Every structure is written in structure tokens, then in C-alpha cells.
Structure 1
Amino acid sequence: MPRAQFDFLDLPRQMPKELAVATRLGLDVEIYGKFEPAEAKAQAGRCLDCGNPYCSNGCPVGNAIPQWLELVRQGRLFEAATLAHETNPLPEICGRVCPQDRLCEGACTLETGFDAVTIGSIEKYLVDEAFKQGWRPDLSRVKPRKERVAVVGAGPAGLACADRLVRAGVSVTVFDRHDEIGGLLTFGIPPFKLEKSVIATRRQVLEGMGVRFQLGLDVGRDIEFGKLIAGHDAVFVGTGATTPVDARLPGQSLPGVLPALPFLIANARRVLGRTLDADDAAMLDLKGKRVRVLGGGDTAMDCVRTARRLGAAEVSCVYRRDAESMPGSRREVKNARDEGVEFLFHRAPLAIEGEGRVQALRVARTEAAGRGAFSIVEGESETLAADVVILAFGYRASPPAWLAEHGVRLADSGLIVGGGASPYQTSVPKLWAGGDALRGADLVVTAVRDGRDAAAAMLRQFKGIAIRTAA
């Protein structure tokens, strides 16, 4: 099918239709719709195929973006889905939650002057539509191997590892303490960014490929880690980083002060229709309240936008630097603004105040001090009324006790130390790790890359043929 070489000159960048704010605040669904086939083909046709794929280079998993954009343009959807999965075991998820503005789209040649190709939305479209039409990974030529691998943690690193291993014929069982797969994909990321049905579909696909899940089972409590080591040829650990950074603010133990992750998990359980205990129900009781969220990353954006959906009367994001210094996705900041969130920049929290429960947040004014640093302006502080304060300062490693008990080397930070025959192999040769447990809190896509590449390294050690991964 011939293509016009300069489609981008006549066709502007287009995102899928966005739900109106008044509508989306009352629904637990993604705010962006899906491209129609003609729209996806047209937007894919904006790609220059510039010869030096900056988009691929800007992608942590090295996606063959120009190639699958061209396949979408030609309507060769199943081939596009096959190619997308060659580098990314979870493309429909990364298409939704990656900060494309800082990765592939930010590196797009058209970003300066013509607006980047809508890579993330096309990635989402091509996988969703291929699944809908019946596409599934072709494992018909895969020969079963003798090796058995246990994966601890059904988050993005664990799922990516399991995907790559079963594609090579290895028997894989994934263990997770939650009753659904996905880890923070399910229990951390809100449905306005990633609907839970997307994870359910991925589970069906993985089970169809031969992955077995043992859910609601806590390793170390319900099953001894030593038994996993003894009963498998290798174990992959992808337990994440879920210990909140402690800001040590005076008053942070007051009722009404909420750590971000338990708040988001409670909301996810509500969305999934789970029965909430009294503590979870209390955290989600925000109707008519003034909510202050401390932090400037994507977790903070998830919290402010969730608070708006739970009926908070006033929601603000309090951040100690300026807007350009915020680590969160620019798209998420825009969405939060659209939904009525106020941003209070150059304010550093000093204390949380109240009698019996939160009543106010005291902050100091700050000013830039070069290279992303800031300094507090002496004598300039203010008190902000607050009914609820949510702490979203990030997360540290959460190493289970059984790691140290079995001789796994840990850094002082709690991160698993890799660097055996592979960066993903630990001090215990049969134990591998990846994702936030190994590198610290990072993006979903980097966890996917770790799981994928750890599996490839395992396969090399099993003396098999490693499946294709990006360079």
C-alpha cells in the first residue's frame, strides 16, 4: 500500500476522544477512548520513518515503533501485535501508563514543530483490537523444556518474566499475595488511567500461554521460600518497592493523614467490588473535604485525581519546586488541572497541625537554588486549611525477610544486589530479581524490561536459545 511521505504536513496530531470532565469524574473508566481503525491508520501514517528511530531509542524496551506503525497504517493488525510483543510483553499496558512525553513521543522527530506521532495511543489500539479480533501469541512451535521457574510477584516485572519463559517452553508458576494479578498495575494505578479489565484480559492471555497463577498466597507465610528454591530450577523475585519515604513531618500521625499507596489500594478494592474494612472505608470518605496531596510525581497525580472522583470539595497538589521540575507526566498534570486540581508550587511542608485530627498544613515558601535544588525563603510561611493530607513522597525497597534469611545480599537501602552471571542474578545463583525490588521505584516499562531480560539471562544459563529481545 503506497503512502504519502509527508502526511504530517496535512494531518495534525490527534488523541483518541477524551471524556468530558463532568462525565469522567463520575465514572471509574479511562478518560481516553480508543481510535477507530481509520483514525489509527491515519495517525500511524504521520510517522516519517526518519531512518534514525529516535522513538525506538527513547523507549526503554527498544520497541520497533516505526515498523509497527507502518503495519497499523497498512491494516496488518495481527503482524503489528506480533511485532509489538517481540520487545514488550505488556504493550497494551505501557501504551496506557508510560510517560510517552518523556520517552518515545518526546524523542519523536516531529515533536519539534509538528507534534509527535501518538505512539502510545496507537500501541494501545493495536493490541486491544488484535485481542478483540482473536489474536494470541503463537506458541505452536514451542517445545516444552524440563526447567521449572517460580515467579514471586505478579507485577509488571514478574509478568514479563513469566511471558518470556513460557515462550521458550519453561514451566512457570507465579505467586502473589493479592487475589488478582498486576501488582500496582491493579492495586495502585487508578482506573482512569488503566481499567482493571485490561489486566483481566492479560491474565487470560498468559494463562492461555501456560502460565499458572497461585494468588492470595503470601510467600514466607503461606509457603516457605526455601521450598520454592528447592522445588524449582530458578526463582524470580519481583516484589516491588512499596515502603513509603518517611518525610518525618510533625503531626503526620494525626488521623486524616494518609499514605498514598494504602489510599490507592483501598480505592482499587472499591473499584473491584471488594468488601472494604472500616479503615479503608474511612480513607475513601472524602466527600466535601479539603484534600492536600504532598509530592509531584505520578503517584501524587493519581491521588489528586482519585480524590476528585471521591467527591472532595477542594484538592490541591503541594510541591516544593516549580512546575518544570515535577517528575510526573505532563499529560497527567494537564488532566489533573482539567479536573479542578489546584497546584501550589514553591511550598515545602513544615508540619501537619490539628487537635485530634488534621486541620491544617503549614508550609514554607521556597525559591530555586540551581539544578533542581531549592531553598526555603526565611520568614515566609503560610497555613493551609486541610481535612485530609495525603503523603506521596515516593517509595523505597520492601525486601521480604526471607531474602536475607536465605543469604540473598541486600544493599543498605534494602534493594536486592544483582551482578552474578547477569545483572539480574543475585548472590544466590538460583535466585533472580528485577523491577523496583532491584533498581528502586521506577517506571512500569523499566520493570517490564527487567523481567524480560532476566528471563533471557535465565534461558542462557539453562543452555537454551534465548528468545529475541531488543538490543
Structure 2
Amino acid sequence: MYPSKALRLKAWGLRVAAKASWRSPRFSLIDRLKGETLAGKLKPDRVPARRRASVERIKDFEEVALGYDLDEAVAEAERCLFCKKPGCVKGCPVGVDIPGFVEQIKAREHIAAAARIKEENLLPGVCGRVCPQESQCEAMCVLGKKGDPIAIGALERFAADTEAASGHAKTPALMSSTGLRAAVIGSGPAGLTAASELAKRGHAVTVFEALHVAGGVLTYGIPEFRLPQRVVDREINMLESMGVEIELNFVAGRTATLEDIRGEYNSVFIGTGAGLPSFMGIPGENLNGVYSANEFLTRANLMRARSFPECDTPIKRGGKVCVVGGGNVAMDSARTALRMGAEVNIIYRRSRVEMPARKEEVDHGAQEGIVFHMLTNPVEVLGETGCCVAITCQRMELGEPDESGRRRPVPVEGDFFTLATDTLVMAIGTRANPLLTLTASELELNRRGYIVASSETFATSIPDVYAGGDIVTGSATVIEAMGAGKTAACQMDRFMRSV
């Protein structure tokens, strides 16, 4: 192409200079992404994860998302830019080395990828399924500026599931024993994470769980079509293989007080969650057929009422069900009722845009046939012979933003209608359960009954007691509770070693 060696060298030099210029600080990230796109190197579209068809999945409680196979996972991992300053890690509340495990998947080293994740997070199978990555790690992915961010959650799930299927799951390395003992009250995401971090640091850890099965909200609250119990069980089994003891049917505040537990352990972490149901206080809420979402989901999930009469716990099945609320718990309740043969309506006082539930869960619910009544608020539950038969609702419109940043729903005067319903599920949030705190007068609480703890250390008003998760913040995400548990465990380790 070129008549002389000199011209060939000159052309080569120009190409090298042009390539280097894209990496120059003078060019913005967007400029470089544009350059990669023009060069055909950037892959803006993520590899779609397989899911079961809606007509099939509404008939059972099997998992909806099927995840990636090896080739799909590798293809998705190959999209990663492996940034020198990865924003995705900053977006992860537990600090997982995301580029590190993605690179190992790219190299088809998926067992090593799972081990890399577990250095920071002992629940990768859980997090890969239920964490809102789209608002956390994936929201920080630079690929999202020109296309789809890396499917971090799907890759995390792939690594966890393939490691489990291989039979070669590795237990995280443990430090030598310190001879110190730590108690963890509650076996939800905050408690399990605190327990794993404390065990890795060489402490003897006992987890106290009020129910007859460990896992907290992961077990009683999240349906198996989103989070199979086998995934929760295998990650709890990993925790037990690290030497953590789990004592079930232990109701802190009743079986023993906080003071009793403190007398046996060098430090205590409280991760009891916020499990006290909330209701609207409208007429008729005491009628039969009105459930809190907590009770409805606990019956269906933990107590297997969805299989009644094969299982002992009853629940109202089929008919017409209305679920009040717009969060993930409302979506879980609605989709559970649907799978038990009901016609399901969701009633939410704002518009679909303001729904706090994950977008994919709302989309799945719509695909499955759930009817959404937006800008609607119940004002009365109607009954016959002591049972719920209908609800009266009022139309709403959006006003000015409230303290949450969402536009405040305002009643439309005189605009009412009635919906027939056999079952009404209230999924409008939860509050702090006072069982433990009523027996611990030294423990400072805020006006809503949540434990007051440092936002940096999670230390409470009692020197050797720490707290984190929903019992401190109110209802939040699984991964936020895990982040609190991890930080608190680090502080507990320092405290125990210093006294």
C-alpha cells in the first residue's frame, strides 16, 4: 500500500498516536466511549437473561429468571471496560471487587469468580437475585452512558450458582481464633453478614433467630419465584461451615433479655429487622380476609400455606385479591396471590412512575396479568357476616413533591368507586417490633421506635452493642442491610480486641 518503508513507518506512527490520543486526559469518558463505539469495540447491548414465559410461570412457584449459561456469561463479561477507577465498586454497599470477578468469568474461571465475591459477600446467590443493582452498582457503570450497563447481578448469580453446582464451593479463609465471643440477634441479611465477618476475624459467633428457620426476610418474606429457599439454605450452610452456631426459636426479649445475652458475650449485634405490620387505620380493617403483607407472605412462604391442605397453615386462596402498596413487598404479595389462583388488583395512591418496586418486578407482574389501579387510595373496607367483600376507593391526583421527593397524592373530592374483593393485603410498610427494645431501657430509640446507632460505626448507646439494618433505618434493601452488618462487624472486632 505504501511505496517505501519510511512512509509505512509514518503511517504506523500516526495510528499509534491516534489510538493513544483516545486515552489522553484531554478527552472525556464520553469521547472515548464514542471512539470505542466507532471502532466497533464497545458493545452497548447487554446479553439478555433467559426467563420463563408468563403463561407458564403463573402456574407454579418455580423461579422466573433462569440466568446465564457459561457462554452467555462470558459474552456479557467481555463487554466490561475494566475501568481503572471502577464506579461499580463504589456503588456496592459491601465493596465487592466487581471488575475482578467479572474478569475471571471472562476467562471462564467462574469458580474463582465466586471465591472472589465471597471475600466481601457471603450471599452472592441471594444478592444476584434480589439486590436492586440498577440503582446501585449498575447505576455507576460507565457503559450505561452509551448503552446498557454490565449485568452485574446476573453475573454474580451465575458465579454463585455454577460454584454450587460444581460441588467445589470454597469456605472463606478464617483468622486464627481470638477466644472472643460475639452474639448476633436476627438471621436476616444484616445478621448473616455480621456473623460471617465476625467469624472470618476469628471470633466465636452465635446467631439467635426467633423463627424455626433461619434467613429472616429472605425466608419468610421473599417468594421462591424470586429467591428459591435452596439458595438461602446453601448460603446459610456455608456460614455454618465457618463455625457459626445458629440457635432457632429464640425470641430475644422473651427467651432472654439483651442484658442476659450481654452477660455471655463480648459484644452483641442487633439485626432484628422491622417486622411489625402497618395498617391504614380505615374502617373495616379488622374484618376477616384482611391481612398484613407480612402475615400473608409468611403464611404462603415459610409456612407453605400455598400448598394447603397438604401443609397445616391455612390461607384464603383464589377469588378476588386487592393488594395496597407499590413496593417490592406489594409486588411479591400480588404475584403470590396470582399463583394461588386469584384475580389480583394492585391499588397504589401515586402513578406507576413513582412506584418504589423494582421496574422488572412491576413489568413481570403486568405480564402475568395483574391489574394496576394507579392514583387510587382505599378509604373503607366493606364486609358481610364479618368477612371482607369489597373496598371503597378514592381517586387521587399528584400535587407538589413531599419529603421523599415524589409528588404528594391529593384526594380528588367526591370521586369514589368500589372494588369487589375477598382478600385485602396491606403492603404499606412495617415498623420496629418492640419485643427486644422493651426489655432494654438503656438502648436509645428514636421517636418511631427504631434503635439509634451511629451511621459510621453502628454503635448504639450501650458500649458493647451494635445495630444495623431495618431496625435502625426502617425498611430498606437487602444489600443496604448487609452493608450495615459488615461495617458493624468490623467495629465490633476492633471493640472486642481493645477491651
- Same topology, TM > 0.5: yes
- Do the aligned partners of residues 132 and 242 (structure 1) sit closer, same or farther apart at CA in structure 2, a change above 3 Å counting? same
In the other structure, the counterpart of 1:14 is 47
Amino acid at match of 1:25: I
Tell me the alpha carbon deviations over residues 344-399 of structure 1, each in whole angstroms, 9 at most, x when there is no partner: 11112111112222121111111111322121111211111111111000011113
What secondary structure, in the 3-state scheme, does the structure 1 residue paired with 2:291 have?
strand
Range moving further from structure 2, 445-454 or 353-362: 353-362
In the other structure, the counterpart of 1:286 is 317
* TM superposition shift of 1:152: 0.9
* TM superposition shift of 1:402: 4.9
In the other structure, the counterpart of 2:340 is 310
- Structure 2: any 5+ residue segments left out of the alignment? 1-35, 402-406
Query: How far apart are the structure 1 equivalents of 2:334 and 2:58?
Result: 12
In the other structure, the counterpart of 2:16 is none
Report the TM-score, using the length of structure 2 for normalisation.
0.86
- Do the aligned partners of residues 225 and 308 (structure 1) sit closer, same or farther apart at CA in structure 2, a change above 3 Å counting? same
* TM superposition shift of 1:61: 2.4
Tell me the alpha carbon deviations over residues 80-139 of structure 1, each in whole angstroms, 9 at most, x when there is no partner: 223212332322211110122222223332334422221111101112212332121342
Tell me the alpha carbon deviations over residues 396-455 of structure 1, each in whole angstroms, 9 at most, x when there is no partner: 1113245543521111211111239x6311111121111111111111101101111100
In the other structure, the counterpart of 1:469 is none
- Do the aligned partners of residues 448 and 114 (structure 1) sit closer, same or farther apart at CA in structure 2, a change above 3 Å counting? same
Q: RMSD between aligned alpha carbons?
A: 2.3
Check the 8 A contact 1:397/1:441 in 2, yes or no.
Answer: no
Aligned residues: 454
Task: Decide which of 279, 292, 295 is 1:262's aligned counterpart.
Answer: 295
In the other structure, the counterpart of 1:232 is 265
User: Is the aligned partner of 1:409 residue 2:444?
Assistant: yes
Which structure carries more relative contact order (alpha carbon 8 Å, separation 6+)? 1
Amino acid at match of 1:119: I
Check the 8 A contact 1:89/1:452 in 2, yes or no.
Answer: no
Amino acid at match of 2:205: V
User: Is the aligned partner of 1:49 residue 2:82?
Assistant: yes
* TM superposition shift of 1:270: 4.3
- Do the aligned partners of residues 106 and 164 (structure 1) sit closer, same or farther apart at CA in structure 2, a change above 3 Å counting? same
In the other structure, the counterpart of 1:458 is 492
Range moving further from structure 2, 17-26 or 147-156: 17-26
Check the 8 A contact 2:291/2:424 in 1, yes or no.
Answer: yes
- Do the aligned partners of residues 145 and 198 (structure 1) sit closer, same or farther apart at CA in structure 2, a change above 3 Å counting? same
Query: How far apart are the structure 2 equivalents of 1:278 and 1:31?
Result: 24
In the other structure, the counterpart of 1:468 is none
Please give the residue correspondences for 1:39-438 in structure 2 after superposition, counting only pairs within 5 Å. 39-133=72-166, 134-139=168-173, 142-271=175-304, 280-281=313-314, 283=315, 285-287=316-318, 289-312=319-342, 314-356=343-385, 357-371=387-401, 372-402=407-437, 404-419=439-454, 423-438=457-472
Check the 8 A contact 2:257/2:439 in 1, yes or no.
Answer: no
Check the 8 A contact 1:362/1:383 in 2, yes or no.
Answer: yes
Amino acid at match of 1:286: R
What secondary structure, in the 3-state scheme, does the structure 1 residue paired with 2:67 have?
coil
- Structure 1: any 5+ residue segments left out of the alignment? 465-471
In the other structure, the counterpart of 2:27 is none
User: Is the aligned partner of 1:449 residue 2:449?
Assistant: no
Report the TM-score, using the length of structure 1 for normalisation.
0.91
Check the 8 A contact 1:102/1:329 in 2, yes or no.
Answer: no
* TM superposition shift of 1:324: 0.8
Tell me the alpha carbon deviations over residues 294-345 of structure 1, each in whole angstroms, 9 at most, x when there is no partner: 0000000001100110100x21111111111111100100010111101111
